[in-house]
Amino acid sequence: MLTTLDPAQEAHPGRADLVITDLVIRAREGDQRAWDALVERYAPLIWSICRHHRLGGADAEDVAQAVWLRLVDQLASIRDPAAIGAWLATTTRRECWRVARATGPQNAEPGLDAEAVPDEQAPTVEQELLAAERHAALREAFAQLAPRDQQLIAILIADPPVPYAEISARLGLPVGSIGPNRGRCLKKLRRHPAIAALINAEAA
């Protein structure tokens, strides 16, 4: 299960860094649960960078596998464990550029050095890290909903939108109860510690 941060940790980045550092140290020592927590926390970051580089599913999977294998190989040598998210972002970009060049010059981004991430891209790294944290928190909160509530939320966020009449038929809910049930589910999500932590941190 994903190791989450409580509201106090999210509000104080230094404490969040301690949590990440602890996960990295435990993963170095062979703790499988710590490794799984790192993968679950940062997998969305890797996939978002692959999407940004317009890689297809197979190429994105190759990049992700290469990044995780490289982390296994270099985990013991990472000097700042708390900065592992930035390390993963940089490594993922390098792999994306390598794949883009291998599949054709037209796919490579001009002027980008695969050995360094330009300074102007630093805000993007932080935004991607924040998005990864949000996605991880949402996944954990969603997993705690009852199966019927999960099904309702999944249908409501489908693209294209599903008409209420069809939702009613699928789930056996009166049309008039769909809105109240949705509101109840959203309240449950907001009360989950992982989501509450993010809300409190942004409010701070």
The predicted pLDDT at position 120 comes to 45
Please indicate, yes or no, if residue 138 is contained in any of the structural domains.
no
The predicted pLDDT at position 21 comes to 87
The series of mean pLDDT values per 10 residues for the chain, 204 residues long, is 40 59 90 88 84 83 91 87 86 88 57 42 58 74 90 89 92 93 91 76 60
**CATH number for position 85:** 1.10.1740.10
**What helix, strand, coil percent values describe the chain, rounded to 5?**
80, 0, 20
Do residues 156 and 116 share a domain? Answer: no
Q: Which of 149, 194, 171, 184 is nearest to 3 (CA)?
A: 194
SS3 9: helix
Give the domain range for residue 48.
1-133
Do residues 125 and 159 share a domain? Answer: no
Please indicate, yes or no, if residue 104 is contained in any of the structural domains.
yes
The predicted pLDDT at position 169 comes to 93
The predicted pLDDT at position 125 comes to 59
Please indicate, yes or no, if residue 125 is contained in any of the structural domains.
yes
Please indicate, yes or no, if residue 180 is contained in any of the structural domains.
yes
Do residues 116 and 176 share a domain? Answer: no
The predicted pLDDT at position 68 comes to 92
The predicted pLDDT at position 44 comes to 82
The predicted pLDDT at position 202 comes to 62
Our measurement of the distance from residue 77's CA atom to the centroid of its chain's CA atoms, rounded to an integer in Å, reads 24
Q: How many domains does the chain have?
A: 2
List, as one string, the DSSP characters of 157-196: T-SSPPPHHHHHHHHT--HHHHHHHHHHHHHHHHHSHHHH
CA distance 45 to 53: 13
Do residues 52 and 79 share a domain? Answer: yes
SS3 15: helix
The predicted pLDDT at position 138 comes to 81
Do residues 104 and 200 share a domain? Answer: no
Do residues 127 and 163 share a domain? Answer: no
Domain boundary among 100, 133, 166: 133
Please indicate, yes or no, if residue 102 is contained in any of the structural domains.
yes
Whether pTM exceeds 0.75: no
Please indicate, yes or no, if residue 26 is contained in any of the structural domains.
yes
Please indicate, yes or no, if residue 99 is contained in any of the structural domains.
yes
Domain boundary among 85, 113, 133: 133
Please indicate, yes or no, if residue 139 is contained in any of the structural domains.
no
The predicted pLDDT at position 7 comes to 37
The predicted pLDDT at position 15 comes to 54
Do residues 62 and 85 share a domain? Answer: yes
Domain boundary among 96, 114, 133: 133
